[in-house]
Chains A and B, each alone.
Chain A
Amino acid sequence: MSGLTLDLLLLQVVTGVALGSVFVLLAIGLSLIFGMLTIVNFAHGAFYMVGAYMGVFLYGLTKNFWICLVLVPLAVGSIGLVVERFLIRPLYGRNIDDPLLLTFGLGYVFIETIRILFGLNGIPFSTPAGLRGAVDIGIGHFPLYRLFLIGATGVLVLGLWLFIEKTKFGLIIRAGARDPEILKVLGIDVSKIWLLVFGMGTGIAGLSGILAAPLQAVTPEMGIPVLAEAFVVTVVGGMGSLIGAVTAGLMVGIVVAMTSLFMPEMAKVSIFLLMALVLLVRPQGLFGRAGLMG
């Protein structure tokens, strides 16, 4: 390829990291819910889409992106709480397929509701005022918003890690993921923990949605393609593993960026090729525990 310079290669890596940040955001919510509740949440993409719409709606009211960054995950997380309490909870203890089918259908209900409320067409959302434009990062110009996205993802991952590793509630979550029976014996109300974890997972999906809204068209179907990508990332990283979601998300982002540079038409397929390669070597994913699904 002509015109290939070190700067271009490095810039491509940075682009990949930014792209990977979106994947990380999506995958940690998904992984959190699976790791704790063993629920494959097929409505995750729809929660992400609802987050974007909620962001547009709340931004219209408040005119403040930062307030929206706080309100949206709370609002979408609250929807998650209701969904867990009234739809998911009756299905605990049943086959893994049941909640999978439920969330799959729920995703379509969300999409249809948004279509009725906001139309088929999609709505505009531009980059918030302070984060517009591109800045010189030494190797070329890079959009300021994407740098912010990398930072925001870092902060979220760090916060989540501290929460799970350093707080009492985190300890209970980790214990619950290993053996909910023992937790119950110890007198802890596991159903409350599950409720909160589901709310957190969907809240993070909502946050991913508003963070992605300035990057792409806000449409009722925006959650469908990203759901596939998010699942690939969780599978590559190992279902239920946070460190796996982070590593795999960044890895997938960089692989997509590099494929786009050298074999653009293969960009989409490269994600699945990577997944196939990883699963051949480690069927449980990079950081997954074997047999969790079985």
Chain B
Amino acid sequence: MISKRNSKRSGMSRREVLAAGAGGVALAGFTPSLFSIAKAQTGTIKIGFPVPLTGPFGAEANDQVKAAEIAVKEFNDAGGFQGRMAELLVRDDKLNPGEAATRTLELIEKDKVNYVVGSLSAAVQLSINNVTKERGVIFNSISQSDAINEVKDWSKFTFHEALNPHMTAGAVGRYAFSKFGKKVVYLTADYAYGHEMVRGFESAGKPLGATTLADIRHPIGANDYSAFLPRIQSLRPDVLCICNFGRDQVNAVKQATEFGLKEKIKIVAPVLLYTARVAGGPEIFEGVVGGTSYYWRLEDTVPTAKAFNDKFRAANGGAVPSDYGALGYAGVRTVLTAAKTAGSTDTDKVVAAMRALKYDFYKGPQYYRDCDHQSVQSVLVIESKSKDMKDKNDVFSIVGVETPDEKNLRSCADLGHKA
């Protein structure tokens, strides 16, 4: 057989020679990329980390980087994975979906990252997710969105380490409507995230008998909310839900306080940021109730929170991690842990390991739900304080904790997943 084939080979036609030559050239052309793939399997484990370092969420994004670096350092200090060290490749997405897509593509194509973790905006994370989904790269999002778990955006490579608006608004709503009253007015930033938060409040409020007096939608990025306040006052609600984020929230709360709204109305915010509270000051935020994934005082009751805070304090001159900052740690640590338990950096194996992960890295037990890879975790309800503060970082009291429970999430069927 062999000799027969060889004899046939010797009589190669011109066409066959040309085809073989072309194949050879093509192979030569492929070699560098094959080589680099081989290298990626043995070199450092690279994690692409696109976050909005510049722009209005810069403070939170810089905190995300600091915390993510702790996860990387911890991993490397423990010897890495089979001698392979981890490396964080931070990119500024400028809070712009287009910029984020470009940076992510570069991270995947040029820097050959193994995984992508990051983002801090609903729109930006969806844009990153589009890129990673198409390229078959794991993306662990550390920003809130309801849409990313829905079938049209989700893929098996998509993980959502952050809470989503449904979970935070739900927890705050269940706490506030049963405690402060059932007549509710919403002041909502007029974009997807704002609308998602109102939907979360309303679905939590329904079984409690809460009624919506008005949903006032303001343009995003407004710096003066005074023109919305007289109407809110005249509607006489029990609870005012301020469904916006960051600086919009600081301005809205500041002006509501100025108009004396707090005397008769309880102000709640679905997501109450540590950084926004520090920037706004104690008097302005006094008594405002909100939800969060993490507050550093969790260390009083949760040992992993203490361990994480201590590492963060040691690396950052005594500063405590903020809520969104802590997500940087969790997001990176989960993918690295999954690679270790999978015994491979191969995407499919890491996906399987992440799906199987039961973890307690900084806030108590967590796991990713099978159908949509949403991290099932506790939601903290916090109240801003202006008295009895232990130190300048002691800005909230934890007034409620919703333990991890899938019933607080939208069901898999609601999201469009089959069974």
Q: List A residues at the B interface (Cβ < 8 Å).
A: 3, 5, 7-8, 11-12, 15-16, 18-19, 22, 119-127, 133-134, 140-143, 145-146, 214-219, 221-222, 225-226, 256-257, 259-261, 264-265, 267-269
Contact = CB atoms under 8 A, between A and B. Distances in A.
Given A126-B283, A141-B259, A264-B217, A119 B59 contact: yes
Contacts of B364: none
B203 interface: no
B344 interface: no
A265 B217 contact: yes
A244 B145 CA distance: 45
A46 B229 CA distance: 28
B247 interface: yes
A143 B226 CA distance: 10
Contacts of A127: 258
Interface stretch (B82-90, B117-125, B248-256, B371-379): B248-256
Contacts of B234: 3, 5, 7-8, 140
Interface in B212-264: 216-219, 221-224, 226-231, 233-235, 247, 250-251, 254-255, 258-260
Contact of A217 (B216, B228, B250): B250
B230 A12 contact: yes
B224 A22 contact: yes
A269 B254 CA distance: 23
Contacts of A16: 227
A268 B226 contact: no
Contacts of B280: 124, 217
For the complex of A and B, the 5 pairs showing the least CB-CB separation, nearest first, are A124-B281, A260-B227, A134-B260, A122-B279, A268-B219
Interface of B: 56, 58-59, 62, 190, 216-219, 221-224, 226-231, 233-235, 247, 250-251, 254-255, 258-260, 275, 278-284
A226 B221 CA distance: 11
Given A18-B226, A19-B224, A267-B222, A217 B260 contact: no
B389 to A, nearest CB: 14
User: Which of B62, B231, B275, B280 has most A Cβ within 10 Å?
Assistant: B231
8 contacts: A12-B231, A15-B229, A19-B227, A126-B281, A261-B231, A264-B216, A265-B190, A269-B219
Contacts, number: 117
Given A19-B224, A222-B223, A123 B254 contact: no
B262 to A, nearest CB: 11
Given A12-B227, A19-B224, A141 B260 contact: yes
Contacts of B247: 122, 217, 219
A120 B58 contact: yes
Contact of B284 (A5, A126, A134): A126
A218 B223 CA distance: 11
A133 B263 CA distance: 10
Given A124-B282, A261-B231, 18 more contacts: A15-B226, A19-B227, A120-B62, A121-B279, A122-B250, A123-B279, A124-B278, A124-B284, A134-B258, A134-B259, A134-B260, A143-B226, A146-B258, A217-B254, A260-B227, A264-B228, A268-B222, A269-B219
User: Which of A217, A221, A259, A261 has most B Cβ within 10 Å?
Assistant: A217
Contacts of A214: 258
Nearest to A145: B258
A145 B257 CA distance: 12
B235 A256 contact: no
B59 to A, nearest CB: 4
Contacts of A219: 56, 247, 279
Nearest to A257: B227
A259 B250 CA distance: 22
B182 to A, nearest CB: 18
A180 B217 CA distance: 50
Contacts of B218: 260, 264-265, 267
A134 B62 CA distance: 38
A142 B260 CA distance: 8
Contacts of B255: 215-216
A267 B219 contact: yes
A119 B279 CA distance: 10
Nearest to A127: B258
Contacts of A18: 226
Contacts of B62: 120
A218 B58 CA distance: 15
Contacts of A7: 234
